[in-house]
A and B are shown apart, each in its own frame.
Chain A
Amino acid sequence: GDSVTQMEGPVTLSEEAFLTINCTYTATGYPSLFWYVQYPGEGLQLLLKATKADDKGSNKGFEATYRKETTSFHLEKGSVQVSDSAVYFCALSHNQGGKLIFGQGTELSVKP
Chain B
Amino acid sequence: GAGVSQSPSNKVTEKGKDVELRCDPISGHTALYWYRQSLGQGLEFLIYFQGNSAPDKSGLPSDRFSAERTGGSVSTLTIQRTQQEDSAVYLCASSRDTSYNEQFFGPGTRLTVL
Chain A interface (Cβ < 8 Å from any Cβ of B):
32, 34, 36, 42-46, 49, 51, 89, 93, 95-105
Interface string of B72-88 (1 = CB under 8 A from A): 00000000000000000
Tally B residues with Cβ within 8 Å of A. Answer: 25
Chain A residues with Cβ below 8 Å from B93 are: 44, 100
A98 vs B33: C-alpha distance when bound (angstroms): 9
Cβ of A98 and Cβ of B99 under 8 Å apart?
yes
Q: Among B103, B105, B107, which residue has its beta carbon within 8 angstroms of that of A98?
A: B103
Chain A residues with Cβ below 8 Å from B91 are: 43-44
B31 interface residue (CB < 8 Å to A): yes
Beyond A43-B105, A43-B106, whether A100 also contacts B98 by CB under 8 A is no
A32 vs B98: C-alpha distance when bound (angstroms): 13
B90 interface residue (CB < 8 Å to A): no
10 new A-B contacts at CB < 8 Å, known A96-B99, A100-B35: A43-B107, A43-B108, A44-B91, A51-B101, A97-B56, A97-B98, A98-B98, A99-B59, A101-B45, A104-B42
15 inter-chain pairs at a CB distance below 8 angstroms, sorted by A residue, are: A34-B101, A36-B105, A43-B106, A43-B107, A49-B102, A51-B101, A95-B99, A95-B101, A96-B99, A98-B31, A98-B48, A99-B33, A100-B93, A102-B35, A102-B44
A100 vs B102: C-alpha distance when bound (angstroms): 10
